[in-house]
């Protein structure tokens, strides 16, 4: 029954209002204008609610201005076009809303009055039921002078002034700022008004919230001010503060300050020896969009919980410079950082924003060093997709979704071929990125290669050939640097004979007699009679081979088992290739089974496979042909042959 009566009463008032609106409308001339401000109308679902705001009718004509208001029924009024001409009507209207009425919110827009008229409006509002007073677009405010304002007995809680334009060029600053500094309200906002200063309240102020955004305030604000003990929130966004140290001193006397917004100023900190002094109660600080560098970490409130340093010039978070043990949220977006900061100084950190920096390969051990971090915003960095980044990519799987914006905000920038690839789609093989595995693999391959080379060296007797080459080189060098008489060697022998000592009987009884004592003068070089005493065996072998037209090798199983025969074969073979001559004659005295030839005798195997050799015939009837072929092979006219022939030849 009570709800039905309330609904009927509200409906009746609303019907009466429409009747009144119609009456005013039909009484206006054609040039009149009608403005209706309506808010919080009846709900569409027809539910029973008390009327919080009823229409305010404002009529404007050439002759008069009338505000028609149903008293004690509205909670919010919005009036515009306030001038010196209609201030009296406005004051008469507001005087109806004494303390105890329902009106709580008043908004005035497009106000063009002088200083005294504005103060009269303030004074009337101050002693009314209005709790929230908003004024916007105050233009042509003039004639500023001292005004004795009565702050007593007010219901006011919050005042908002937006876009206040003062036309006076010369006036006392104290007359203007003292009025606002001493207001006994909890909240005050003066925005976008080119305000250059604000006085400290004359006594202990009840201000809890002050907002001076988009003005021209400087470092001189509230210096040594002891009367803002209850202030909790201070917003100085978009002003002209320059010294972070002076800002800290400003807050040091504000014992209740918890939130400070200093964003979009000109703040710097040069790391001076004078330490900063912040309010101990300050827990949230916004220093974004300033000119702060790495030294800012020397001047931060130790008890801060939320800190924003976005859009500054920070390139590194110095370790050990400051310990912010209470810090829970840190915003370092849009700076110049090249890596994720560690948490050695931020042991309570839970949220970190480091987007839009210069991070190429973020540290993969971040969550290990920052175990309390629940969310990391690291997207929109120029990531370099490499092995180092593979470990960071694994953080998304290990951290359980702690990377904010994954995967769209995490894209490769370098190298050029991977640009635009999301990190979740970038993969490299484990071998390419695991340094330990790569080293082990390389070590194993190296060991296999070394073992293979060692095996081949042993199998092919490479050390022996190296040693022989070294001896041949040293012999040549000594010959080049020897006495002049030793240079310019000429052929002195038809052939050099290389044989095993075990085959010496055949050489002495068959080979030498048949060649040297037959037709013609054949000069043979035999080590027993032609090696020069005092010289090394190797040097004698080389000299004899070089002074001989041919080199005769008597091959047998004994030959392949002789070390010196192998030397002689090696040097003779070296001459074959170095002088491009056909100087080798092979005589197979006895058949040599292949298994008897050592591995290092691969040259002998190659010679026997590719070159024709003379085989010593067992039948005597074939031996004359053998000697004839051998004589023909070594037949040559030597310059010193006649002089060196033995006298008993023939």
Indicate the pLDDT class of residue 589, thresholds 50, 70 and 90.
confident
- The pLDDT value given to residue 301: 94
Give the H or E element holding residue 449.
helix 435-459
Indicate the pLDDT class of residue 244, thresholds 50, 70 and 90.
very high
SS in 3 state form for 318-331? CCCCCCCCCCCEEE
Question: 507-559 pLDDT, tens per residue?
Answer: 888 888 888 876 667 888 888 788 788 777 777 777 887 888 888 888 888 87
Fold of 33-39+51-193: 3.80.10
- Rounded to an integer, what distance in angstroms lies between the CA atom of residue 623 and that of residue 346? 104
- Domain residue ranges of the chain, discontinuous segments joined by +: 33-39+51-193, 434-479, 488-644
Query: pLDDT above 70 covers what percent of the chain?
Result: 73
- The pLDDT value given to residue 567: 67
Residue, of 232 and 29, whose pLDDT is higher: 232
- The pLDDT value given to residue 481: 56
Q: What would the mean pLDDT of 327-344 be, rounded to a whole number?
A: 92
User: Under CATH, domain 488-644 is a member of which superfamily?
Assistant: Toll/interleukin-1 receptor homology (TIR) domain (3.40.50.10140)
Q: Is pLDDT of 15 > 50?
A: no
Q: What would the mean pLDDT of 267-290 be, rounded to a whole number?
A: 91
Indicate the pLDDT class of residue 22, thresholds 50, 70 and 90.
very low
The pTM assigned to this predicted structure is: 0.63
Show the beta-strand stretches assigned E in 93-216: 105-112, 132-141, 158-166, 187-191, 209-211
Query: Which stretches of 481-562 are DSSP H helices?
Result: 504-506, 512-516, 527-530, 537-546, 557-560
Q: What would the mean pLDDT of 39-48 be, rounded to a whole number?
A: 37
Residue, of 29 and 476, whose pLDDT is higher: 476
Domains 33-39+51-193 and 488-644 share a fold: no
DSSP 206-232: ---EEE--SS---TTTTTT--S-TT--
Indicate the pLDDT class of residue 96, thresholds 50, 70 and 90.
confident
Question: 100-148 pLDDT, tens per residue?
Answer: 888 999 999 999 998 999 999 999 999 999 999 999 998 878 888 899 9
Question: What is the sign, positive or negative, of the torsion defined by CA atoms of 559, 564, 567, 569?
Answer: negative
Give the C-alpha distances (Å, rounded to integers) separating 217 from 178, 193, 239, 262. 16, 11, 5, 11
- The pLDDT value given to residue 260: 97
Q: Is pLDDT of 13 > 50?
A: no
Q: What would the mean pLDDT of 573-594 be, rounded to a whole number?
A: 70
């Amino acid at each position: 029954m009570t709800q039905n009566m309330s609904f009927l009463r509200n409906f009746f008032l609303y019907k009466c209002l429409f009747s009144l609106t119609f009456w005013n409308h039909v009484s206006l001339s054609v040039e009149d204008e009608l403005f209706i401000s309506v808010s919080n109308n009846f709900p569409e679902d027809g539910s029973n609610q008390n009327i919080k705001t009823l229409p305010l009718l404002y009529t404007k004509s050439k002759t008069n201005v009338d505000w028609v208001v149903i008293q004690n029924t509205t909670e919010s009024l919005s009036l515009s076009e306030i001038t010196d001409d209609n201030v009296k009507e406005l004051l008469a209207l507001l005087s109806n809303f004494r303390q105890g009425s329902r009106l709580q919110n008043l908004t005035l827009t497009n106000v063009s009055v002088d200083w005294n008229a504005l103060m009269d409006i303030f004074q009337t509002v101050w002693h009314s039921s209005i709790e929230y007073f908003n004024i916007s677009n105050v233009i042509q405010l003039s004639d500023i002078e001292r005004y004795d304002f009565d702050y007593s007995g007010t219901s006011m809680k919050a005042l908002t002034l937006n876009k206040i334009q003062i036309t006076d060029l010369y006036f006392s600053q104290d007359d203007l700022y003292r009025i606002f500094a001493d207001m006994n309200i909890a909240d005050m906002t003066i925005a976008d008004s080119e305000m250059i200063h604000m006085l400290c309240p004359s006594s202990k102020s009840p201000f809890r919230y002050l907002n001076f955004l988009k003005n021209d305030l400087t470092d001189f604000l509230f210096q040594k001010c002891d009367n803002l003990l209850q202030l909790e929130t201070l917003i100085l966004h978009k002003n002209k503060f320059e010294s972070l140290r002076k800002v800290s001193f400003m807050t040091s006397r504000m014992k209740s300050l918890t939130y400070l917004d200093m964003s979009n100023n000109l703040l710097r900190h040069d790391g001076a020896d004078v330490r900063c002094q912040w309010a101990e109660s300050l827990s949230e600080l916004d220093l974004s969009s300033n000119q702060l560098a790495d030294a800012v970490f020397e001047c931060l409130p130790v008890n801060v919980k939320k800190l924003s340093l976005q859009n500054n010039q920070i390139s590194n978070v110095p370790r050990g410079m400051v310990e912010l043990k209470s810090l829970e949220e840190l915003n370092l977006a849009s700076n110049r950082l090249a890596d994720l900061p560690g948490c050695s100084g931020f042991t309570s950190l839970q949220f970190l924003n480091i987007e839009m920096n210069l991070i190429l390969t973020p540290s993969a051990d971040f969550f290990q060093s920052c175990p309390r971090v629940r969310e990391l915003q690291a997207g929109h960095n120029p990531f370099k997709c490499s092995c180092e980044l593979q470990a960071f990519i694994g953080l998304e799987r290990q951290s359980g979704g702690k990377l904010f914006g994954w995967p769209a905000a995490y894209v490769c920038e370098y190298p050029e071929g991977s640009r635009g690839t999301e990190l979740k789609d970038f993969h490299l093989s484990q071998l390419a990125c695991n340094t330990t595995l790569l080293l082990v693999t390389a070590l194993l391959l190296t060991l296999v290669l070394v073992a293979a080379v060692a095996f081949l060296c042993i199998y092919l007797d490479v050390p022996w050939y190296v040693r022989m080459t070294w001896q041949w080189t040293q012999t040549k060098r000594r010959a080049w640097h020897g006495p002049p008489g030793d240079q310019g060697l000429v052929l002195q022998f038809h052939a050099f004979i290389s044989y095993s000592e075990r085959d010496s009987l055949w050489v002495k009884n068959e080979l030498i007699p048949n060649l040297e004592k037959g037709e013609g003068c054949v000069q043979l070089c035999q080590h027993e009679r032609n090696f020069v005493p005092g010289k090394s065996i190797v040097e004698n072998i080389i000299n004899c081979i070089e002074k001989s037209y041919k080199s005769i090798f008597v091959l047998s199983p004994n030959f392949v088992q002789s070390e010196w025969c192998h030397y002689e074969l090696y040097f003779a073979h070296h001459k074959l290739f170095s002088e491009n001559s056909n100087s080798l004659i092979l005589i197979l005295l006895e058949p040599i089974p292949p298994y008897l030839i050592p591995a290092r005798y691969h040259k002998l195997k190659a010679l026997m496979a590719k070159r024709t050799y003379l085989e010593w015939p067992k039948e005597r009837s074939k031996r004359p042909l053998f000697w004839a072929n051998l004589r023909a092979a070594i037949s040559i006219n030597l310059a010193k042959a006649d002089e060196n022939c033995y006298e008993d030849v023939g």
